[in-house]
Structure 1
Amino acid sequence: MKRYLPVYYLGLKNSLIYRANMIMKLVLQLASLLVTVLMWKFILAESGNFQQMARYLLATNLISLIFTTGPVFQFADMVESGNLSLYLTRPLSLYWYLFNYNLGLQTPLLLLYLILLLFLVKSAGPVFLLLIYLLLSSLMFFSLMMVLAMLSFWLINMWPLRSGINAVYLLLGGLYFPLNLLGPVYQYLKYNPFSLVTDFPARLLTGTTDQRDFFTNCLAVCCWLLLSVLLGKALFKKGIKTFEGAGA
């Protein structure tokens, strides 16, 4: 992995150079969270569940900052511009290149998230479990985004999909409301990949789930990871045959 350290550093440096983008992202996320919390405060005015709801929404929205859909459009730009051919000729894995680059981009947010964790939890046990879980789920989510990125071999423009992907993320990830409010439907949604990266970690932090569920969710993450990696490789093999490398 030593060869990927310069790639990680490049991502970290870019995140610091374009820090205005990161600050704007945080501001917009906090503004969206504020609106959502105020809405639920009005709805739960007569209930004593508002504090639990607020903690859950705070946790899901913070965690969502880590899991970005950026790799989808980064890979799409490579395909559209023809620059993908430059990376294919290098003695590096394109998968790990993009993963380490995006890890560098997300490092400042990761540090911020770890600091905020100190204020959300009272013991080190949930934090340790959460860090293990986030490591697995980050690989899973990145692999899933790479599967979506492979569509760029057949679609002329991927940017119209951004709003659709983000909408699915917001709804199925629990960023607007706890998914368990859906009642029986929740049993069919709690193991979707978006829920696994936000809903379960938030419930783990807020103490609304049994830690025995940790192993079940880890197994679900591993299954999605394996499926995403295999599907991504299959789509890449098919898509690379249509790639001409001429650029737009």
Structure 2
Amino acid sequence: MKKYLPVYYLGLKNSLVYRANTVMKLALQLASLLVTILMWRFILAEGESFQQMARYLLVTNLVSLIFTTGPVFQFADMVNTGSLSVYLTRPLSLYWYLFSYNVGLQTPLLVLYLLLLLFLLKSAGSLLLLAVYLLMSSLMFFSLMMALAMLSFWLLNMWPLQSGINAIYLLLGGLYFPLRLLGPAYKYLQYNPFSLVTDFPVRLLTASVNRREFGQNCLAVVAWLLLSLLLEQVLFKKGIKTFEGAGA
């Protein structure tokens, strides 16, 4: 992994160079969160229920910052511009190249997230469980985004899909409301990949989770990870046959 450290540094450097983008992202996320909380303020009024709802929404939106859909459009841009051919000839894994770069981009947000965790975590054991889970889920979510990115071999423009992907993320990830409010439907949605990277980490932070529940969610993450990796490889092998290397 040593050869990917310069790639990580490049991502980190770019995140610091384009600080306005990071600030804008945080501001927009905060504005969206504020609107959502005000909506629930009118629905629930003041009280313990509203406080729990506000805390849930705050933490879910915070967690969502480190799980980005960016790799989808980053890879699509490489296909459309023809620069993908350059990376294919390098002695690097394209998967780990993009993963390292995106971890570098997200590092400032990760640092902010870890600092805020100091005020939310109840014990060092909770921190360890959360760290292990976030590592697994970050690989899973990145692999899922890469599988979606493979569609760029057949679609001329992936950007129209951004609104759809973000909308699914907001709904199935519980960023608008706790998924448990869906009642019986929750048991069918709690293991979707978007819920696994937002809803469950929040419950790790704000509620007691038993070993069985933790193990079930880890198994779900591994299952989605393997499925995403398989789908990505299949689509890549088929899509690369259509890739001509010419920029759009």
Which TM-score band applies after superposition, normalised by the shorter structure? Answer: over 0.9
Q: Deviations over 1:173-230 (max 9, x none)?
A: 0000000000000000000000000000011111154353111100000000000001
- Tell me what 2:212 maps to: 212
TM score, norm. by length of structure 2:
0.98
SS in 2 for 1:120: coil
Q: Which amino acid is 1:110 matched to?
A: L
- Tell me what 1:94 maps to: 94
Deviates more, 1:121-130 or 1:39-48: 39-48
Q: How do residues 72-221 of structure 1 correspond to structure 2 at under 5 angstroms?
A: 72-207=72-207, 209-221=209-221
Tell me the distance in 1 between the aligned counterparts of 2:18 and 2:234. Answer: 35
Q: How do residues 228-247 of structure 1 correspond to structure 2 at under 5 angstroms?
A: 228-247=228-247
Deviation at 1:46, TM superposition (A): 6.1
1:223 correspondence with 2:223: yes
Deviation at 1:48, TM superposition (A): 2.5
Q: Which runs of 5+ in 2 are unaligned?
A: none
SS in 2 for 1:119: coil
The answer to whether the 8 Å contact 1:71/1:145 transfers is: yes
Tell me the distance in 1 between the aligned counterparts of 2:37 and 2:28. Answer: 14
- Tell me what 1:4 maps to: 4
Deviates more, 1:199-208 or 1:107-116: 199-208
Tell me the distance in 1 between the aligned counterparts of 2:108 and 2:48. Answer: 35
Deviates more, 1:54-63 or 1:117-126: 117-126
Q: Deviations over 1:2-61 (max 9, x none)?
A: 000000000000000001100110011011111111111221116531111111111100
The answer to whether the 8 Å contact 1:126/1:205 transfers is: yes
- Tell me what 1:34 maps to: 34
Q: Which runs of 5+ in 1 are unaligned?
A: none
Tell me the distance in 2 between the aligned counterparts of 1:15 and 1:46. Answer: 39
Tell me the distance in 2 between the aligned counterparts of 1:220 and 1:48. Answer: 32
Tell me the distance in 2 between the aligned counterparts of 1:53 and 1:123. Answer: 23
- Tell me what 1:45 maps to: 45
- Tell me what 1:71 maps to: 71
Q: Which amino acid is 2:168 matched to?
A: V
Tell me the distance in 2 between the aligned counterparts of 1:150 and 1:4. Answer: 22
Q: Which amino acid is 2:194 matched to?
A: F
The answer to whether the 8 Å contact 1:204/1:211 transfers is: no
Tell me the distance in 2 between the aligned counterparts of 1:182 and 1:209. Answer: 20
Hey, which bits of structure 1, 4+ residues long, moved more than 6 A?
Answer: none
Q: Which amino acid is 1:183 matched to?
A: G
Q: Which amino acid is 2:161 matched to?
A: L
Deviation at 1:122, TM superposition (A): 2.5
Q: Which amino acid is 2:52 matched to?
A: Q
Q: Which amino acid is 1:224 matched to?
A: W
Cα distance change of structure 1 residues 209 and 37 upon mapping to structure 2, 3 Å threshold: farther
1:22 correspondence with 2:14: no
When the two structures are aligned, how many residues end up with a matched partner?
A: 248
Q: Which amino acid is 1:12 matched to?
A: L
SS in 1 for 2:118: helix
